[in-house]
């Protein structure tokens, strides 16, 4: 299996980068320079027509969408148990959280960081205020789930959903309330950040300010 990940430090590619490191599989990481608009270069658009990262090339075929990439990787490496198998009791909750995080929390963060996409130019502050409300709603729900003492979203082991939430929690650092303003979520983020694979991803991407 050969993997090539296209990404940019600290962005939506972080969770895939992190899982690849945790899986301990060989891969190549191509960092795109957003300042230079490399995500919109014709060669990259051939791999991912959305002009977004991440893109993961698996055995010569390019795929996008962070949540889908995490699920695919988890399924290709079943020994890790990062994706509960169809028919198991955790499967439903797993799918629910993967989709909820990918189609509710991630777009809310996108609105916060790309506010012009909400209601257009001149409306950025109002868009950001709405985005914060949406983010906080999801973080509060994750905190409530974790309040029963479980170590991870689906129970007491790591799944692909934790890679997604662990990355998204990092994006709360520029919002009025960060993940640490919810006690159970804060403890959960501390556990994820202590993982050697998380710290390695952070280091390799040259990030600062959240560990
Ligand atoms: N739905 C996409 C969203 C990815 C996304 O928004 N990526 C951002 C970085 S966090 C990006 O590529 N931004 C560059 C741009 O919009 O020009 C996914 O889950 O992969």
φ, ψ for residue 57 (rounded to 5)?
-95, 120
Distance 93 CA to ligand 1 centre (A): 25
Question: In degrees rounded to 5, what are phi and psi of residue 29?
Answer: -110, 120
pLDDT tier at 182, thresholds 50, 70, 90: very high
Mean pLDDT across the chain: 97
Q: How far is the CA of 12 from the centre of ligand 1 (A)?
A: 6
Confidence of residue 210 (pLDDT cuts 50, 70, 90): confident
> Atom of ligand 1 at shortest distance to CA of 69?
20
Domain boundaries, the chain: 3-81, 91-195
- Ligand 1 nearest atom to the CA of residue 68, by list position: 19
Q: Which residues contact 86 (CB under 8 A, 6 or more apart)?
A: none
Please compute the mean of the pLDDT values over residues 106-112 and round it to a whole number. 98
Please compute the mean of the pLDDT values over residues 5-28 and round it to a whole number. Answer: 98
Residue 72 CA to residue 184 CA, distance in Å, equals 29
Do 3-81 and 91-195 share a fold? Answer: no
Q: What CATH number belongs to 91-195? A: 1.20.1050.10
**pTM metric for this prediction:** 0.97
Instruction: Calculate how far, in angstroms, residue 194's C-alpha sits from the geometric centre of ligand 1.
Output: 26
Q: Domain 3-81 has what CATH class?
A: alpha beta
């Amino acid at each position: 299996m050969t993997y090539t990940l296209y990404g940019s430090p600290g962005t939506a590619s972080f969770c895939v980068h992190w899982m690849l490191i945790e899986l301990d599989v060989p891969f190549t990481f191509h960092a795109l320079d957003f300042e230079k608009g490399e995500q919109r270069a014709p060669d990259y658009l051939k791999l991912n027509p959305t002009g977004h990262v991440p893109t993961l090339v698996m055995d010569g075929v390019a795929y996008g969408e962070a949540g889908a990439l995490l699920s695919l990787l988890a399924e290709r490496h079943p020994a890790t148990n990062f994706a509960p198998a169809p028919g198991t009791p955790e499967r439903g909750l797993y799918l629910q959280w993967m989709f909820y995080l990918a189609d509710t929390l991630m777009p809310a963060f996108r609105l916060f960081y790309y506010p012009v996409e909400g209601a257009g130019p001149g409306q950025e502050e109002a868009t950001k205020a709405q985005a914060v409300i949406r983010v906080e709603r999801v973080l509060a729900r994750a905190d409530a789930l974790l309040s029963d003492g479980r170590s991870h979203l689906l129970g007491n082991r790591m799944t692909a959903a934790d890679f997604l939430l662990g990355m998204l929690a990092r994006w709360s650092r520029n919002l009025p309330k960060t993940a640490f303003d919810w006690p159970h979520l804060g403890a959960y983020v501390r556990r994820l950040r202590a993982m050697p694979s998380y710290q390695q991803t952070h280091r390799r991407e040259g990030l600062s300010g959240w560990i």
